Structures are given as C-alpha cells and as structure tokens.
Structure 1
Amino acid sequence: MTTDGLLRTASVDELTARQQMLRARAARSGVDAVVISTGADMRYLLGRSQGSHERLTALVVPTKGSAFLIVPELERPGWEGSSAESMGLEMSTWPDGDSPYRLLAARLGPIAELAVDDVMPVRHAHEIRTAVDCRVEPAGELIGGMRVVKTDEEITALTAVAAAIDRVHRRVHEWLRPGRTERQVGADIAAAIVAEGHQRPDFVIVGSGPNGASPHLEQTDRVIGAGDPVVVDIGGPAPSGYFSDSTRTYCVGSPGDPEFATVHDIVRTAQQKAFETARAGVSAAAVDQAARTVIEQAGYGPYFITRTGHGIGLEVHEEPYIVRGDDRLLSPGMAFSIEPGIYLPGRFGVRIEDIVLIGADGSPVRLNHSPTRWELP
C-alpha cells in the first residue's frame, strides 16, 4: 500500500500562492479583506485548522497588506511549528475577557467591504460586522471558485484516498454475512477504513433490506438475512485532509426480491450514462439529467429522490453539485461523485457511486475502480 498521496499536505509555497490568489480575487470583487474561520477553507489556505469552540480563530487576508491570524491566547502554543509559523504569518492573540472583534477592527482600520467564509458561525459574523462597521458578505464564490478546480497535487491526494476506499470495498465480503447486524458489519468496515490508510471513518452506511431505501440511514441493529440487498456507502479523510466517498450495493446470496437485479442494472446503466456525459463544457445539471433520464424511462423516476452527485476535496460535500438547476459548466480539475440511486420504500435501495475527475483533456476519469456488481465473491 502506497502512502505518499494519503499523507501529502500542501507546501508553504502552495499555501502562499493560494493566499495571493484569494487576495487578487477579492480585489477584483471590490472586497477589502476576507476573514476565514476554522474549517476546510482555513485548511485550504493555511494547511491546517483548529477548533476554537466559541472563541474566534480566524485567518485574515486583506487586499492590501499582509495576511495575519487571530488566535485565542490560550491556543497560541498549539500553532507552534505549524505552516502558519513557517510562512512567517503574524499571529495576533487575545486573552479571555477581551474582544477579538475589536482586535480585528483595529488591525484592519476603516474599510468598506468585508467577506467571511460561508460556514462562519452567525455569532462571529454578526460581531465582526458590528465591530468593523462595514458591509459583510459571503466569501463562498471567492474561495469556492479556487477550491472547485483541483491542482495536480490535490488530484494525487484524491486518487490515493479513492484507492484506499476501493480496498475496503474489495474486503466487504469478509464481513457481510447472514445473521450479522448492520452495526456489526459497520464496525468491521470502520476499522478497515483506518487500516487501509484513512485518518478516520467519516460515515459508514450499511443499509440492508428496507433500510437501504433510506439513503442516509447509517446502521441499525437489524439482522442481515440471506437474499438481502445491502447498500454500503463509506468514506473519510486521509491524513492529507482529502476525502473518499464510494457506494456499492451488494446482495447476500441470491436476491430475495425478484426485482432487485433489474433495478441494480438500471442504476448501473444510469451511472455509466452520467459518467459518459460528464465532460468539460457540459453543465452539472446535464449530468444529473443524463442519469435521471435512464431511471425515468425505466419507470422508476419517482424513486430517484437524491441529486446525482456532489463535489469532493477537503470536504466530503463541496462544489460542484450535480443536480438539476445547477448550470455551472464542468472544467478540467473538477472532482465530484456520480451516484444515482433507486429507493423503493419498504423493500430495498440501490446506489452506485464513483468519484469522477474531469481530466486535462476534458474527458471524465474514474477514481474508483472496485467492482460494481452486486454479487459477493
């Protein structure tokens, strides 16, 4: 098992270039500064993030002047040896009882427009707007427009973690047996996700029989029976921070429901059609419609109750979203899932999911390669 792609993190030069790009994008948009709280956006721009509970930790990227970090005084030791120090980033600390928002306002001086990351808690955003006394808007388009197109290094990380989750799927037959509960199977899969190179499991869905018709029902104490279809949707981050996400639908022995094999074939066909449609210059909505058309023409349209896919990277769900109404055009470097499904209430569900990359030539490339057949070895 190779670990290079699983362990790789962005270099100081890469992080510096990302901050410079954000500064340029903000300037073109008329934004005076961007404030990024803890989370995936901070990790993208700073190489790490750190939970700060109710206290504000924020990376501040002014359009003019150097970026700096606001950190609670008690958490400053945790940043020693970090990429922030390697970049020479100034860290402004604040003790409990003082206001980090007033500190931010003093550091920025008078400005007209500020952008904050999309997942910043409302409390922080409100206090920042009050202290800085300027217009505050979401920074999603500024940062998301950068993150949505992956670099070669990011593609290497995504490819490695996709291979790791493939190895787990190839081992599912070791645990998926009649008489075991979904929770027992899920525990074995979770351990394997870590053993195969992930930092942790982020989600482990084991939906057997009628439970498979609920797309996000993770695990229950339901005992898996012979002939049960089982949806197994699993993933998590590698130490690199990049996520895997792959779904296969298996059957324990011969299908107990005579319609299962037909439905499985329809979903496989829909997934392949969406894959073939996913090319540079094609809209995300068109990829969704390609899968949906196959399922609708087969008479199962009302049972395809999810979108076709979502982007993936430092978050398991990020832009682009493969869904009706999203007219964003795909371009080289975008990575996303293609995961059509059919969910028959009270009976079973079928979902097949691969991560797909738009390659440099504009064509789609699968990052997942585990078998999609329902038969267990």
Structure 2
Amino acid sequence: MSYERVQSYMRDQRIDAWLVFDFRNNNPVMARILGGTRHLTRRVFWLLPAHGEPTLLCHFIDEATFKKLGLPFRSYGTWHAMREMVGELLSPHRRVAMEYSPGGSLPTAGIVDAGTIESIRSLGVEVVTSADLVQIHAADWGPHGLRSHQTAIAHCDRIMREAFDFLAARLRENGSSNEHEVQRFIREQHAAAGLVTDSGPIVAVNANAADCHYEPDEKSHASIRPGDWVLIDQWAKVPGDGSVYGDITWTGFCGRDVPDEHRRVFQAVVAARDAALEAARAGWARSAAGGPTAEGWQLDDAARKVIIDAGHLARIKHRTGHSLSPGTPGAHGIGMNLDNMETHDTRRMMPGTGFTVEPGIYLDGRFGVRNEVNVYVDPVHGPTVTGAMQNEPVLIV
C-alpha cells in the first residue's frame, strides 16, 4: 500500500505523524487500513510518520491476525508495556493527528475516546484532527470502489424506474397499491442484481414523505392511490468491504397533472441540488488554479440559500449531503459531508472521494420532496454526477 499522497499532505500541514487507535473494531479507519474488519480484542495502534514506513502495535493475543496479513508489528502484554511502547513510538514526534474533533464540532471525525486522547497528550505531543487524512487515505474510493459504485448506481437507476413502472401497473390493475408492496419489489430487484444493503428502501406517500427517515414495513404501511405523491429513497452496493453504495432519491405523482404546489417545491429542490453541484465545480476550478477547494459547509450553504430564498427555511430538516466511501456498513461514509446545519464541516472536497447531494423540503402533515444524486470527485475531471438526474417529477400512470 502506498502512503505517498497522505504523507505529502501531512508534511504540507506540518503533521509529524498519524496515530490511528482501535479497540474492538470501534474505529472504521483502522478497518480501511487493514483492508476490512478483523477479530481484534485488545487495543491496537497504527502509526504513520510523515516520512518513512508505518508501525503497528498490538497485544500479543492479537498477533495471529497481523501475521496472517503479513504486516510488520510490535506487541505488548501489560498496560505498562503498552504505554511505554506508545511513548517510544511517539518520542520523535510533536504534532500527531488522531480521529479527534476539537470541541466535538465534527462527530464523524471524533472517533477516539477522550481518555485515550488525554493519555496521548500526557506523553508530550499535540493532538490535531485527522479528518482530512482520513479523506485522503480511508475515504478514497480507489479503482475497485469506483467500479463497484458504477455497477451499483447503474442498477439503482434502473430499479428506480422499474419501481415507478411497477407502481403504475398496480394502480392500473387494482386501483391502489401500498408502500410495503413497492418496497418489497425494490428489495427483490436488489437481490436479483446481486446487490446488498443494510436497510431500506424508503417508500413514502404524501405526509409520510415529510418524515425524512420514515420506513414502511409489513405491518405498518400506507396505501397508494391515484392523486398521491410518492418518494422513493434506495441505497445498495456490490458485496465487499471495498465497495461504495449507490444512494438515490426520486419523487413522483400518481397522475398526469402534478399539483402546482408540489411542482414548485420540486423545482426549488432541484435548483438547490444544482447550486450545490455548481459550487463543487467552482471549488474544483479554484483549486486547479492554485486556490482553495470547496469545503463541505460551503456546498451545504449553496443549496440551502436557494431553498431559503424560495421561502422554505422552516421546511429544511437536514444537511444537503453525506459522504460516500468504501468500508462502511451503511451508505453514510467517513469523508466530507455537505453540512453547515447539523455540524460545521470544514473538510475539503478531495479528489478520489465521493458524496451525495440530496436537498429536501418537507411540509409536515402534507408531503416532502428530496432529490438525491451521487458525486465522484474525479482526479482529472473534478466533481462528476455518476448516475441519472431527475429533473421532473415521475408521472405514475
């Protein structure tokens, strides 16, 4: 594995070393470094200096795991020995990055517990956040991640269209359908395509579409009839730790004439989506000219401004998008989120990473609109939408 890119960034940022700490697989960054989740029962440290090769420190009970991986390591037995050996590893370094978020401002980057951070600081080093190091080394898709995502998003795009066609056919045949019936159809199509998912999909009609995380099941679901508004949010991936999810949301109307209010809200959401995409492209152009690239909070602001200007400030319920990265059990990755609402995400848009753009407007008790696309930050071409873009509500007829 090459560490040249992340080490170059560390040197630019005057970071002496990156220390990744894991206890019983509680740090997904360690899983990415090790190439998947391993059976680890004791504390593990992985240290990457700004110059040179990494060193791994584990308990001797976990030695067999690392022997199988062919990784060089040192082992300890007692907590006294562990602390002494960690001190030896850190002795040449003064500024060390860890999965830590100053002030708890970025929870997705604040993985290491406060006690461990205190322990490392007591050894005389300054601890800084590894948030952008994680993006460069652990959130990077790599060739396999990109191929897996392209496969997943192609299937998700196709299945989305087929799901709306399935619903239209049920309405023509029976006069009605229900959320769970459509949900089951999508799950069956995921399985037939060889895709896996941790949950979902969301199929939500009318007022249920205003509940961002509403999910029907066999016992609790609503009927779908002509004149209804339907939101479908599905996410799935090719099996494997290195795979990246496809994650998309579309909306449609059961009829030929979309109500004016629904159409206006839909158009505002699409405009917000496009504003975030334009801000991402502008950030890429700035960085290509030697300036600063876009940060997550800026992309969120670009989308939310459109929604606020359209008069829907009180109807925003969530950030504009989340990271997509390999090695996570669900669709939410460990890189930059498009967020200046729930958190102030100052992580930079990095080449080789990806994210969703999914602004939404939610009218409680009535209906909701969310429109979601996936973006890959191509190292040559910059931020690129990987799948289809919905620009008009689906007419479910």
In 1, Cα distance between the equivalents of 2:245 and 2:124? 38
Indicate which of 85, 89, 94 corresponds to 1:108. Answer: 89
In structure 2, list runs of 5 or more residues that go unmatched.
Answer: 100-108, 287-292
Q: Which amino acid aligns with 1:321?
A: N
Q: Contact 1:164–1:197 (CA<8 Å) still a contact in 2?
A: no
How many residues end up aligned between the 2 structures?
354
Paired letter, 1:125: T
**Which of residues 42, 56, 60 is equivalent to 2:43?**
56
Query: Where does 1:209-358 land on structure 2 (aligned, <5 Å)?
Result: 209-219=206-216, 221-226=220-225, 227-238=227-238, 239=240, 240-253=242-255, 259-279=261-281, 280=284, 281=286, 283-284=294-295, 285=297, 287-314=299-326, 315=328, 316-324=332-340, 330=349, 333-358=352-377
Shift of 1:74: 5.3
Compared CA separation, residues 195 and 31, structure 1 to 2 (3 A): farther
Q: Give, in angstroms, the shift of residue 353 of structure 1.
A: 0.5
Change (3 A) 1:132 1:191: farther
Judge conservation of contact 1:331–1:362 (CA < 8 Å) in 2: no
Q: For residue 366 of structure 1, report the CA deviation from its aligned partner.
A: 1.6
Structure-2 separation of matches of 1:172 and 1:99: 59
Aligned partners of 1:183, 1:50: CA distance in 2, in Å? 36
* CA shift digits 1:187-231 (9 cap, x unpaired): 443343343243433553223221211222333512232133222
What is the Cα deviation at residue 256 of structure 1? 8.9
**Which of 135, 150, 155 lines up with 1:164 in the alignment?**
155
Identical aligned residues as a percent: 23
| Aligned-residue offset at 1:338 | 1.7
CA contact (8 A) 2:323 2:334 kept: yes
TM-score w.r.t. structure 2 length?
0.71
User: Normalised by the size of structure 1, how large is the TM-score?
Assistant: 0.75
Task: Find the aligned partners of 1:94 and 1:175 in 2 and give their Cα distance.
Answer: 59
Q: Write the deviation string for residues 82-110 of structure 1: whole angstroms up to 9, x where unpaired.
A: xx32xxx1244567x76784375266263
Q: Closer, same or farther in 2 for the Cα pair 1:60/1:183, shift >3 Å? A: farther
SS at match of 2:336: strand
Q: Which residue of 2 aligns with 1:41?
A: 29
Query: What per-residue deviation string (whole Å, max 9, x for no partner) do you get for residues 14-54 of structure 1?
Result: xx213x4444544552434522434442344332233647x
Q: Evaluate the alpha carbon distance shift between residue 130 and residue 300 of structure 1 in structure 2; reply closer, same or farther with a 3 A threshold.
A: closer
Deviations 1:247-282 (A, max 9, x none): 112334468966323322332343234434431137
* Distance apart, 1:175 and its partner CA: 5.7
Q: CA deviation at 1:287?
A: 4.0
Task: Find the residue that maps to 2:201 and give its secondary structure.
Answer: strand
- Counterpart amino acid of residue 189 in structure 1: I
Alignment partner, residue 192 of structure 2:
195
Deviation at 1:364, TM superposition (A): 4.3
**Deviations 1:339-376 (Å, cap 9, x if unpaired)?**
12110000111111101234456564220126553224
CA RMSD of aligned residues (A): 3.9
